[in-house]
Structure 1
Amino acid sequence: MALHVHVADVDALAKRAEAAGAEILQQPTDMFHGDRTFMAKDPEGHVWVFLTHLEDVSEEELLKRMAEQ
């Protein structure tokens, strides 16, 4: 199972999660869809994806960015 959660500050949360023993699967990264995300796995094996919204991206811009990936 993977859970997506929007938070105010993914960078601060990533630091706290790592200090608490979470396995960081992806360090905080700006993503093409306009969010900054990081992924972590908790001790029970659940994967968490945390996001902070950075910008609104139009459908046209989103498709352009996806094509560039």
Structure 2
Amino acid sequence: MSSGVRGTIFLEKARVISQLAYDAEQFVLRLGAPKCAAHAGPGTFVHLRCDAALPMRRPLSIMRADARA
């Protein structure tokens, strides 16, 4: 493992900013998570927990991240 990815696993509560649906069941979910955005880049993943009652997290790929937003 390279030193560039060490220390990048953490928990952060995110705020849903917007949800968009497109044809062919494609979706864009914008989240407010500044700590995650500071470490994220296109092609990396986050694991999203939708509900505390659902133990399995959903892996979502990141299309774009802006720590300043």
Q: TM-score, normalised by structure 1?
A: 0.26
Identify, as 1 or 2, the structure richer in helix: 1
Q: TM-score, normalised by structure 2?
A: 0.26
Identify, as 1 or 2, the structure richer in strand: 1
